[in-house]
Amino acid sequence: MTKRIKTDVCIIGAGSGGLSVAAGAAQMGADVVLLEGHKMGGDCLNFGCVPSKALIAAGKQAYALNHGAEFGVANVQPTVDYAQAKDHVHKVIATIEPHDSQERFEGFGINVIREFGTFISPTEVQAGDTVIEARRFVIATGSGPFVPPIPGIEDVTYYTNENIFDLRDRPDHLLVVGGGPIGMEMAQAHIRLGSKVTVIEGAKALGKDDPEMAEVVLNKLRAEGIEIAEDALASEIRNAKDGIEIETKDGRIFKGSHLLMAVGRKVNIDKLNLDAAGVKHDRSGVKVTDDMRSTNKKVYAIGDVAGGFQFTHVAGYHAGVIIRSILLGLPSKQRTDHIPWATYTDPELAQVGLTEAQARKKYGSKLTVTRFPYAENDRAIAEGKTTGLIKLMIVKGKPVGASIAGAQAGELISMWAMAIANKMKLSAISSTVLPYPTLSEVNKRAAGAYFTPKLFDSPMVKRVVGFVQRYIP
């Protein structure tokens, strides 16, 4: 028998964005219904950010054992138990799981319904045997792995980020189709855990990042033994003796024991019946304006499904944008110029704002680019982490972009995300006193490089200094 519920806010999807909206709305006094047809915590907790970083951490431990000689610690060939590494992954998930659990959110007074939501009208969603009528709906269904229809793919066993973390037997030779962040992170984790790895990329590996910075990372991955085949568009996949065989459009053939598909993502909208709600959409997701509203003014979309950046932290940011609008009735719009992202290879790769190419196209001669290498940072030298650099894009004394390739780039980019978000001048960074020795000094030194010519190469400064030294007692 069908039940009916009326509520203030109905959220479809209990991933990062949906949970943030639900918790915020409920604690601010709204009546909230939260729908989730799969796992609480969504892709990030169960199949993405959390398990991948846990497996990367296992790989780092194995790598460290065999790379201590330069510090006076004898190299030891690690004995890797791949299944136990996966146990570590699932232990990490289980540790974080309670924070995203149904019980926790029911403790906020939220009505959690473990069913997929489907629109049946512009103001109603059905979830199992329940119809929910809401003043506002929030679509937060995220995205899943995209598997292209390569001939033969249906005849082989392949993995995606949704099931690779359940694999208990270490691949002898992992074939990774896709050279983006997911593919590269998993490639390095697996070679460090003892697999042979080949990455097959149809265009350029890490092609969405600054080419100069991406090359820093790719050189390190190749040095570790990962084969990276670029401009290698897979045209056929087939079973072969002892494994899988991939043929590319130009005739190259790659053989391996296991296959990971890491080509990209597709938004999860198939179950939503968006046409019934009057919500426009396409393959990239729900069409939204800067306030995250769809063509149905009662329906918002956030995170991956909104068709923009596909990062967990963006979904959380979108949640904050719409909470202000939905709950307080205040104007609130998203912006994208301050959104950072990172790839957690070793070395890491991070970006916020414009890349050098984008900044040159937009600002031309008004742009100044400064660089500072890790090799001139004392902490990096002490820890043997000298591979990498930071590059700043600066216009009229303000950063408009920052690119970092090197150790802890994902941490270091935070300073530039803050600076761009708050429209800070570069002088705010260069005048900040930082503890010595830290990697964060690369940020300050890169900022200082902008002022160096103005101070040390300026005839006017030299004349002023000369005057002071001669005439001021």
pLDDT at 456: 66
Q: What is the pLDDT of residues 386-429, one digit of tens each?
A: 999 999 999 999 999 999 999 999 999 999 999 999 999 999 99
- What is the topology classification, in CATH, of domain 146-264? FAD/NAD(P)-binding domain (3.50.50)
pLDDT of residue 409: 98
When pLDDT is averaged across residues 41-65 and rounded to a whole number, the result is 96
Neighbours of 167 (CB within 10 A): 15
| Tokens representing residue 260 in the block | 């990971």
> 255-283: per-residue pLDDT in tens?
999 999 999 999 999 999 999 999 999 99
- 111 Cβ contact partners less than 8 Å away, ≥ 6 residues apart: 5, 7, 32, 33, 34
Query: 3-144+266-328: which CATH architecture?
Result: 3-Layer(bba) Sandwich (3.50)
The whole-number pLDDT of residue 444 equals: 96
How far is CA 232 from each of CA 229, 235, 301, rounded to the nearest angstrom? 6, 9, 35
Q: Check pLDDT > 70 for residue 455.
A: no
Specify the amino acid at residue 79: T
Closest CA to 370 of 430, 328, 436, 297: 430
Q: Which two tokens stand for residue 400?
A: 């408009």
Core vs surface per residue 84-118: b (16+ CB within 10 A) or e:
ebbebbeebbeebbeebeeebbeeeebbbbeebbb
Q: What is the pLDDT of residue 315?
A: 96
User: Is the model more confident about 127 or about 455?
Assistant: 127
Q: Give yes or no on whether 3-144+266-328 and 340-456 have one common fold.
A: no
Tell me the pLDDT tens digit for each residue of 353-391.
Answer: 999 999 999 999 999 999 999 999 999 999 999 999 999
Q: What is the pLDDT of residue 472?
A: 85
Fold topology of 340-456: Enolase-like; domain 1 (3.30.390)
**Mean pLDDT of the 145-151 span:** 96
Whether 230 contacts 179, CB under 8 Å: yes
**What residue spans define the domains of the chain?**
3-144+266-328, 146-264, 340-456
What's the pLDDT tens digit per position in 346-355?
A: 999 999 999 9
CA dist 112 and 110 (Å) reads 6
* pLDDT tier for residue 286 given thresholds of 50, 70 and 90: very high
Nearest to 35 by CA among 19, 5, 21, 14: 14
pTM: 0.94
Model pLDDT for residues 174-230, shown as the tens digit of each residue: 999 999 999 999 999 999 999 999 999 999 999 999 999 999 999 999 999 999 999
What single-letter amino acid sits at 198?
A: T
Cα–Cα distance measured from residue 18 to residue 219, given in angstroms and rounded to the nearest whole number: 38
